[in-house]
Amino acid sequence: MEGISAFEITIYVLAGIITAIVNTLAGSGTIFSFGALLYLGVPIDLANTTNRIGVFFQNVTAIITFRSYGKYSLRNLKLQYVIPTLAGAMIGAFAAINVSERFLDIVAGIAMVILLFDAIFDFKKYIKNLHWFNTHTAWLSVLLFFIIGLYGGFIQIGIGIMVVFAIHLVSDSDLVESNFLKLIIILVYTVPTTIYFIYQGKIIWIPALALTVGQIIGAIAAGIFSNVSTNAGFWIRRLLVLMILATLIKVLL
C-alpha cells in the first residue's frame, strides 16, 4: 500500500463514517469498510484483519456517547455471554490467518448473501417477542455465544446482527438495549484478536488509521442521531442492500 493517494484516504475515511453509523444503529456496517478495502486493492485476507482497528475505536466511541445520555444499562450483560464469545473469537482469529483466500471468499460470499436477505426483510422485527433461551439451560446460551465468537474472530461481517439476535434470545433486553450490549461484547473480543493480528503483521496501517478516523466520527454522529431520530433504519437498509451487492460482486469476481 505504498504511495496511497489522498483520494484513497478520503474514501477510507468516508467508508469509516458510514461503517460506524450503520454498525452503531443497526449492524452489518463492516461491509462498507470491508468493501472499500477490497475495491482499493487490498487482498481479502488483509481486508478482513485491517478493518478490526477501526472496530475497536468505533465501539469505544459509541459506548461513551451512548452512556453520556444516561439511557443505557448493563443489567443484562452477563459473563456467560462475554467469556464464550471471547474464547470463540480467539480460535476464529487464529483460523482467519491460516486459511486460504479462496475459503475466505466463500465464507464472505455466504455471509453477504445472508446479510442481503436481512437488509431486505429486516429479520430483527421477527424477534421482538422471542426469548426462547430464557426457558432453557444456560449451557445453550454459552454454546450460542461461543459459535458467534468463533465467527466474529474469523470474519467481522454481520457479527453485530448475530450478537443482537443472541442477546435478545437469552435475555429480556429489548432491541435498543441489545444493540448497546452488542457494542460491549464485540469490544471485549476485538481487543485480543486485534492484538493478535498486529503481532502476526496482518494490519495495513494507513487504510486502518484512515478508517478509524471515519469510524470515530461516525460513531459520535450515530450516538447522537439515535437519541433524536427513529427513522434511521429505513435508509440504512437501502444503503446496505446497495453496498452488499457491490461487495458481493467484487468477491465473486
Q: What is the 3-state secondary structure (H, E, C) of 193-223?
A: HHHHHHHCCCCCHHHHHHHHHHHHHHHHHHH
* Confidence category of residue 53, pLDDT binned at 50, 70, 90: very high
Q: Is residue 17 part of a domain?
A: yes
Residue 164: predicted pLDDT: 81
Residue 239: predicted pLDDT: 67
Q: Report the Cα 210 to chain-centroid distance in Å.
A: 17
C-alpha cell at 87: 474464547
Residue 191: predicted pLDDT: 95
What mean pLDDT value characterizes the chain? 82
Cα dist. 44→7, 14, 62, 79 in Å? 21, 20, 27, 33
Q: Is residue 155 part of a domain?
A: yes
Residue 23: predicted pLDDT: 79
Residue 125: predicted pLDDT: 60
Calculate ∠ Cα 79-19-37, nearest 5°. Answer: 110
pLDDT at 7 over 70: yes
* Confidence category of residue 102, pLDDT binned at 50, 70, 90: confident
Average pLDDT over residues 169-189: 81
Q: Is residue 1 part of a domain?
A: no
Domain, as residue range, for 160: 6-252
Residue 76: predicted pLDDT: 64
Could you tell me which residues come within 8 angstroms of residue 30 by beta carbon, excluding any fewer than 6 positions away?
Answer: 19, 23, 51, 55, 156, 157, 158, 159, 160
Q: Choose between 35 and 115: higher pLDDT.
A: 35
Q: Is residue 93 part of a domain?
A: yes
Q: Choose between 112 and 44: higher pLDDT.
A: 44
Beta-carbon neighbour count of residue 168 at 10 Å?
A: 26
pLDDT at 145 over 70: yes
Average pLDDT over residues 142-158: 91
Q: Is residue 134 part of a domain?
A: yes
Rounded CA-CA distance 118/196 in Å is: 31
pLDDT at 141 over 90: no
Residue 88: predicted pLDDT: 96
Cα dist. 85→157, 167, 222 in Å? 16, 12, 25
Phi-psi region of 219 (alpha: psi -120 to 50; beta: other; left: phi over 0): alpha
C-alpha cell at 23: 454498525
Structural contact between residues 149 and 85, judged by C-beta atoms closer than 8 angstroms:
yes
Q: Is residue 138 part of a domain?
A: yes
Sign of torsion over alpha carbons 104, 182, 185, 213: positive
pLDDT at 36 over 60: yes
Q: What is the tally of structural domains in the chain?
A: 1
* Confidence category of residue 130, pLDDT binned at 50, 70, 90: low
Residue 253: predicted pLDDT: 65
pLDDT exceeding 70 applies to what percent of the chain?
79
Rounded CA-CA distance 30/76 in Å is: 25
